[in-house]
Amino acid sequence: MQESDTDISFQSSQECVLLLPLPLDDRQEFLNEEMRQLLESGHYSIIKEFTISSNNPKYYFSPSFLHEIKSEIESESIQPLIVVGTHLSPKQGINLEELFACDVIDKFDLILEIFEQRAMTEESKLQIELATLKYERPRERLRLMHKLGLEGAWHTERTGFWGTGEHPLNVFDASMTKRESNLKNKLVTLSQQREKRRDSRKRFHYDSLYVSIIGYTSAGKSTIQNSLTNSYTSQVSSRLFQTLDTRIRSFQIEDLKVFVTDTVGFIEDLPTFLIDSFKSTLEESLAADILLIVIDGSEKIKHLLQKTLVTVQTINELNPQNYRILVLNKIDLLDSEALNERLEFLKQHFPDLELIPISAIKNVEPLLVKIGNFQPKQRFKCVYSPPNHQFRAFCYEFTNVEQESFENSDWEIIISLRKPKFGIEILKHRARSLGVQLEMEAI
Ligand SMILES: Nc1nc2c(ncn2[C@@H]2O[C@H](COP(=O)(O)OP(=O)(O)OP(=O)(O)O)[C@@H](O)[C@H]2O)c(=O)[nH]1
Ligand SMILES: [Mg+2]
């Protein structure tokens, strides 16, 4: 049985009025639709929606329309929260709050809220706290300036003392900077601990394969992880950003152990400060042998291209050095014509990436075959002297020993390695530390 939702799905929804930019092109239409989905994921219900032309620096939206909306809301005695389907500058957010005399949140606030609801581990909670602090800081500062009547002239009036104490803006800046650096320090410590754990794991499993699943939110990453590993431990849901915390699961293909990492999904317009906060976890996830870039095949082609571009560009910015496969998922929802159309389209736009169509819920076999054949073992003849029991035991523990013989005071063993570069390095290092002469030759 698949788990469909986390317990937060029992949360009651909050009513809101949604203001969206007028969709003058396909991209904006796509972003507006995504905003509605984000609201659903964040447990909001939209009681009214307006699409408005956006050409005003003070309010972002055209003020005449905003006044009409305000009258309409007031006449219906609605006391809503206003949600804006785009990113606002701090000043625009405050101006809109004043105009509507109610709370206003923008797309980034909403994403942060959803992330906060979903974060499970100490690290992701701190990452969200840091991102929220960074995003709210300029707005809070403006509010304070407003309260102090300092707007526009603060740099000249700020110097000196404020009554008998320090200037409130200085106090605010100092406290924010302190909170930010505390959070950063805690995150560095956690990241170092993770790094240590990863090193020891990698050393131990150097003959295993690491696969990371990356992709747009709701593309089916967690479902793929569940199907590959035959477990239902990762939460799957049609809500956006279901997964926030990196989850590693393993499975076996014959003698090959495969570790599969599921990660947070991407979205167009994901704020850079949020990517920065998640950078260390994302980078760790990207340090895999194979990167599966998952695409939701059931999307309309234009959305599919947009989402794939966002994902590939985000990955390229982090510059991982690994093998990448485009996984066209949910093909059970496509007829053969629609499937061929998408395959052709993706080949044309991403000629350098291998393409594998699958259905995570019906058939992941093509992916299993690819992973199983990805790194065939290579055989090596190792000749070492003098005889050394510790080195011999090390070879047995960390490689596949196929044959062993003793000739002219040299020990000869035939081993096979799946990751030769790494394996050779480890064997040579071990031999050196034990005072053993080692010659290795691929056969
Ligand atoms: N029909 C069909 N539905 C699928 C398939 N794979 C995933 N889904 C559905 O797509 C939705 C999203 O799946 P998830 O696995 O949660 O997607 P995700 O990429 O992990 O999403 P986030 O964690 O939110 O980024 C769920 O409702 C799944 O049941 C598939 O191959 N076919
Ligand atoms: Mg997921």
Q: What is the pLDDT of residues 308-367, one digit of tens each?
A: 988 888 888 776 778 899 999 999 999 999 999 999 999 999 998 999 999 999 999 999
241 lines ligand 1 (CB under 6 A): yes
Over pLDDT 70: what percentage of the chain? 91
Q: pLDDT tens, 296-305?
A: 999 999 889 8
pTM of the model: 0.81
Cα of 258 vs centre of ligand 1, distance in Å, is 21
Residue owning the nearest CA to atom 6 of ligand 1: 220
For the chain, report the end-to-end CA distance as a whole number of angstroms.
48
Mean pLDDT of the chain: 85
The answer to whether domain 378-442 has CATH 3.40.50.720 is no
Helix (H) or strand (E) holding 325: strand 323-329
Contacts 24+ apart (CB under 8 A), 145-151: 145/169, 146/94
Reported confidence tier of residue 164, pLDDT bands at 50, 70, 90: low
CB of 68 within 6 A of ligand 1: the answer is no
How many Å apart are CA 71 and CA 77, to the nearest integer?
10
Name every residue whose Cβ is closer than 8 Å to that of residue 406 and which is 6 or more positions away in sequence.
387, 412
Place of tokens 């980078």: 283
pLDDT tens by residue, 223-233: 999 999 987 66
CB burial string 179-196: b at 16+ within 10 A, e below: eeeebeeebeebbeeeee
- Using pLDDT thresholds of 50, 70 and 90, give the confidence band for residue 162: low
Q: What is the pLDDT of residue 199?
A: 62
- Structural domain boundaries in the chain: 14-105, 120-153+165-204, 205-372, 378-442
Common-topology check for domains 14-105 and 205-372: yes
Spatial strand order of the sheet with 410-417 comes to: 400-407, 410-417, 378-385, 437-442
User: What is the average per-residue pLDDT within 387-404?
Assistant: 87
Q: If 0-12 CB within 10 Å is exposed, 13-18 middle and 19+ buried, where does residue 411 land?
A: buried
Residue with tokens 């819920």: 361
Q: Which helix (H) or strand (E) holds 441?
A: strand 437-442
Say if residue 288's pLDDT is above 70.
yes
CATH number of 14-105: 3.40.50.11060
Least confident of 2-16, 196-210, 377-391, 415-429: 2-16
Is residue 368's pLDDT more than 90? yes
Instruction: Name which residue sits closest to atom 1 of ligand 1, judged by CA.
Output: 330
The reported pLDDT for the residue numbered 100 is: 93
pLDDT bucket at 202, cuts 50 / 70 / 90: low
- Between the CA of 382 and the centroid of ligand 2 the distance, in Å, is 44
What distance in angstroms lies between residue 136's CA and the mean position of ligand 2's atoms? 27
pLDDT at residue 4, as a whole number: 36
Ligand 1 site, residue 360, Cβ cutoff 6 A: yes
263 lines ligand 1 (CB under 6 A): no
- The CATH superfamily holding the domain 205-372 is P-loop containing nucleotide triphosphate hydrolases (3.40.50.300)
Verify whether ligand 1 is closer than 6 Å to residue 118 (CB atom): no
**CA 187 – ligand 1 centroid, Å:** 30
Sign of the dihedral defined by the CA atoms of residues 387, 391, 395, 397, in that order: positive
Atom of ligand 1 nearest to the CA of 238: 27
359 lines ligand 1 (CB under 6 A): yes
